[in-house]
């Protein structure tokens, strides 16, 4: 990972869209600072696409799509995207898996949650689970005392043994049935909603993130950026971003936004 200061100015000026994780990328210590929200607004006002790509639940993403200065939001690690259509005055929802299948999978996820709680002392079902539509989130440090890496690995092991795709964020282990992830759904969303071929435009799209579940995005986008706390979990990753900001969390995201806007003049 190279310092953000070495990101070529011409490459920064060519950026047309910014995709970003939320927890510990836009937020700092569980809080969305004003500078992060302002950075999103400034980027969008400058004509860039702005799209959070998060593991957070559908209930949160409904609000984000409606009220944040963003063009769309990908949620639950790729289970869907939401976009507010200002011209029609309504929220557009696009799911990767149809409703009946999501509901059937939900019943299985509840049973898996009980097994995880029984086998990994100290973890908990995430507080935002009631607002989820497609995955299971197990909290290992957000509202519970932080668990050791071995416990996090055990959560992943149990989920995978039950046939789930399991991904570790900075606060949760998320598990779901299916092969989608942040990247596959982001690419589909970019194509369907904005007529962007991400493979062709990958150098003009930046993804900002910080944790293992961001690895597909780090690997795909050659100009991916990690906020400084990406180093905290780097030992759990095989794919790291090309660039890293000086600061952690929301302050780091603001540094990225300023670099892009400054390069654009």
- CA dist., res. 156 & res. 154, Å (int): 5
Last residue of a domain, one of 154, 176, 198: 176
Domain that holds residue 131: 99-176
pLDDT of residue 137: 98
pTM reported for the whole predicted model: 0.94
pLDDT of residue 215: 96
* Mean pLDDT calculated for residue range 18-40: 97
Whether 82 and 108 share a structural domain: no
* Mean pLDDT calculated for residue range 120-136: 97
Identify the band that residue 38 occupies on the pLDDT scale cut at 50, 70 and 90. Answer: very high
Whether 105 and 63 share a structural domain: no
- Kindly report the CATH number assigned to the domain that includes residue 255: 3.40.50.1000
pLDDT of residue 116: 98
Whether 159 and 199 share a structural domain: no
Whether 118 and 78 share a structural domain: no
Whether 203 and 105 share a structural domain: no
Whether 54 and 129 share a structural domain: no
Last residue of a domain, one of 146, 176, 206: 176
pLDDT tens for 194-245 read 999 999 999 999 999 999 999 999 999 999 999 999 999 999 999 999 999 9
Last residue of a domain, one of 152, 176, 200: 176
**Given a cut of 90, is residue 2 above it in pLDDT?**
yes
pLDDT tens for 135-155 read 999 999 999 999 999 999 999
Whether 16 and 85 share a structural domain: yes
Could you give the C-alpha distances from 113 to 105, 110, 116, 123, in angstroms and in order?
Answer: 12, 5, 5, 10
Whether 88 and 156 share a structural domain: no
Whether 71 and 125 share a structural domain: no
Split into its structural domains, the chain has a count of 2
**Given a cut of 90, is residue 115 above it in pLDDT?**
yes
Whether 77 and 151 share a structural domain: no
Identify the band that residue 265 occupies on the pLDDT scale cut at 50, 70 and 90. Answer: confident
Whether 164 and 189 share a structural domain: no
Whether 70 and 191 share a structural domain: yes
- Kindly report the CATH number assigned to the domain that includes residue 149: 3.90.1070.10
């Amino acid at each position: 990972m190279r310092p953000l200061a070495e990101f070529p100015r011409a490459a920064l000026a060519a950026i047309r869209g910014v995709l970003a994780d939320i927890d510990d990328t836009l937020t700092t210590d569980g809080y969305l600072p004003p500078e992060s929200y302002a950075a999103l607004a400034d980027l969008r006002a400058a004509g860039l696409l702005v799209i959070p790509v998060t593991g957070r639940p559908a209930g949160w993403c409904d609000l984000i799509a409606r009220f944040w200065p963003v063009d769309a939001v990908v949620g639950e690690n790729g289970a869907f995207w939401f976009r507010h259509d200002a011209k029609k005055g309504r929220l557009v929802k696009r799911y990767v898996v149809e409703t009946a299948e999501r509901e059937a999978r939900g019943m299985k996820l509840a049973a898996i949650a009980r097994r995880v709680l029984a086998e990994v002392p100290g973890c908990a079902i995430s507080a935002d689970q009631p607002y989820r539509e497609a995955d299971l989130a197990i909290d290992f440090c957000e509202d519970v005392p932080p668990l050791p890496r071995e416990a996090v690995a055990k959560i992943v092991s149990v989920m995978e043994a039950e046939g789930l795709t399991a991904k570790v964020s900075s606060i949760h282990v998320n598990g779901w049935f299916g092969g989608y992830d942040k990247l596959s759904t982001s690419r589909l969303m970019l194509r369907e909603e904005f007529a962007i071929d991400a493979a062709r435009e990958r150098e003009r799209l930046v993804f900002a993130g910080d944790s293992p579940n961001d690895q597909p995005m780090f690997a795909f986008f050659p100009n991916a950026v990690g906020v400084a706390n990406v180093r905290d979990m780097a030992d759990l990753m095989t794919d790291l971003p090309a660039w890293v900001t000086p600061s952690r969390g929301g302050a780091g995201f603001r540094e990225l936004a300023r670099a892009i806007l400054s390069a654009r003049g």
